């Protein structure tokens, strides 16, 4: 068995990691930290995990804990993992970081969008960007992965094959995406209280959402991104608009063929003529895609749906860990959603 530790396990992404690791045939959770919940049984905070971890308590993180495991998952707010990373990498442990700290290649871009300088820019080159369908070979060649963000995963899976194929223009792309409230994390916030989010639909992060540069880096294009908060627990639906590239003869069938060819054999991407839904992906590591070309307006429309806590976070992190460890990439993960 591969021994793993989870830093930040008391958050939603951390809890999802614990769920997925328990069902994984090759991973064993050695410890789980959650500084604000230290001393609390995992099953007391998350009763859904009580049967899986009857005696496990959240611990306070100590860098020495890394010496007892083969791989560490970090599920921390932005800015936190870069301060822990030098010690983890010096300990020789493999790392999968679910946060944003090591996703952007340019530390100046990080400083611009996150409002603070990167404190470990010398480590950026050691990380692979963790979106396996687009970066599998690089992930397999390193010991540290910056798992892709939830919104950027949906946008990149939808658009990257089309930019790579030269099918769409790389300027003026629009991404409108809606996420469930779990994407905001477990911390109490007015905007995610039931009384606020229920029966509401809200656009936020107008023009300056921090996932924008990650999308642009992944897609290879300039993107105008507008996120929305939907009154649901899980899920992301991204609707992406682009102009067909000059000299092409676009059609819906052509777009679907490009996507199907790009993801042929991929276990966690479904390309279909059917419009995707978030509920179809609930609890799974799958992303569902479709595309249309509108002859009337001349726009390409590409849609992607996924579970923000699985393919958008913890499932993708496990997928990356499988590659890092030389395991079957699908181990511990399902492509089938829970329905209804």
- The pLDDT of residue 188 is 79
Cα distance between residue 167 and residue 293, in whole Å:
12
Question: What is the rounded average pLDDT of the residues 154-163?
Answer: 98
Omega into 340 within 30° of 0, i.e. cis?
yes
**Domain 151-307 top-level CATH class:** alpha beta
In angstroms, the CA 278 to CA 98 distance is 21
Chain centroid to Cα 188, Å, comes to 22
Residues of the chain with CATH 3.40.50.720: 2-147+311-324
Tokens of 79: 């800015």
pLDDT digits (tens, 9 = 90+) for 23-75: 999 999 999 999 999 999 999 999 999 999 999 999 999 999 999 999 999 99
Rounded to whole angstroms, how far apart are CA atoms 216 and 223? 6
Listed in order, the ranges of the chain carrying CATH 3.30.360.10 are 151-307
Tokens 């809606």, residue located: 178
State the chain's maximal CA–CA distance in angstroms: 63
What is the fold of 2-147+311-324?
Rossmann fold (3.40.50)
Note the pLDDT tens digit of each residue in 176-209: 999 999 999 988 789 888 999 999 999 999 999 9
pLDDT value at 287 more than 90: yes
User: Residue 7: is its pLDDT beyond 90?
Assistant: yes
- For residues 171-210, one letter each, b for 16 or more C-beta atoms within 10 angstroms of the residue's C-beta and e for the rest, the string is eebebebbbbbbbeebeeeeebeeeebeeeeeeeeeeebb
Q: Which residues are catalytic?
A: 150
Angle, alpha carbons 210-73-59 (nearest 5°): 110
**Could you tell me the pLDDT band of residue 283, with boundaries at 50, 70 and 90?**
very high
196-251 pLDDT per residue, tens: 999 999 999 999 999 999 999 999 999 999 999 999 999 999 999 999 999 999 99
């Amino acid at each position: 068995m591969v021994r793993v530790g989870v830093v930040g396990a008391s958050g939603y992404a951390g809890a999802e990691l614990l769920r997925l690791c328990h069902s994984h045939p090759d991973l064993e959770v050695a410890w789980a930290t959650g500084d604000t919940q230290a001393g609390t049984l995992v099953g007391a905070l998350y009763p859904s995990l009580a049967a899986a971890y009857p005696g496990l308590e959240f611990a306070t993180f100590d860098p020495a804990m890394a010496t007892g495991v083969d791989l560490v998952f970090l599920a921390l707010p932005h800015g936190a993992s870069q301060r822990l990373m030098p010690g983890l990498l010096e300990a020789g442990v493999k790392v999968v970081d679910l946060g944003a700290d090591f996703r952007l290649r340019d530390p100046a871009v990080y400083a611009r969008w996150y409002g603070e300088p990167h404190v470990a820019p010398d480590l950026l080159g050691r990380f692979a960007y963790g979106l396996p369908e687009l970066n599998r070979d690089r992930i397999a060649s390193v010991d540290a992965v910056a798992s892709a963000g939830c919104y950027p995963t949906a946008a990149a899976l939808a658009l990257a094959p089309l930019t790579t194929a030269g099918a769409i223009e790389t300027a003026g792309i629009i991404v409108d995406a809606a996420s469930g409230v779990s994407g905001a994390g477990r911390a109490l916030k007015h905007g995610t209280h039931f009384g606020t989010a229920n029966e509401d639909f809200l656009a936020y992060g107008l023009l300056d959402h921090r996932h924008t540069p990650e999308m642009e880096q992944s897609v290879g294009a300039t993107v105008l991104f507008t996120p929305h908060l939907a009154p649901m627990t899980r899920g992301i639906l991204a609707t992406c608009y682009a102009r067909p590239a000059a000299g092409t003869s676009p059609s819906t069938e052509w777009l679907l063929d490009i996507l199907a060819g790009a993801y042929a054999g991929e276990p966690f991407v479904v390309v279909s003529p059917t419009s995707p839904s978030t509920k179809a992906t609930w609890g799974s590591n799958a992303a569902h895609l479709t595309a249309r070309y509108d002859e009337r307006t001349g726009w390409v429309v590409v849609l992607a749906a996924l579970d923000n806590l699985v393919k958008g976070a913890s499932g993708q992190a496990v997928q990356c860990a499988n590659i890092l460890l030389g395991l079957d990439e699908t181990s511990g993960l399902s492509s089938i959603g829970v329905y209804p």
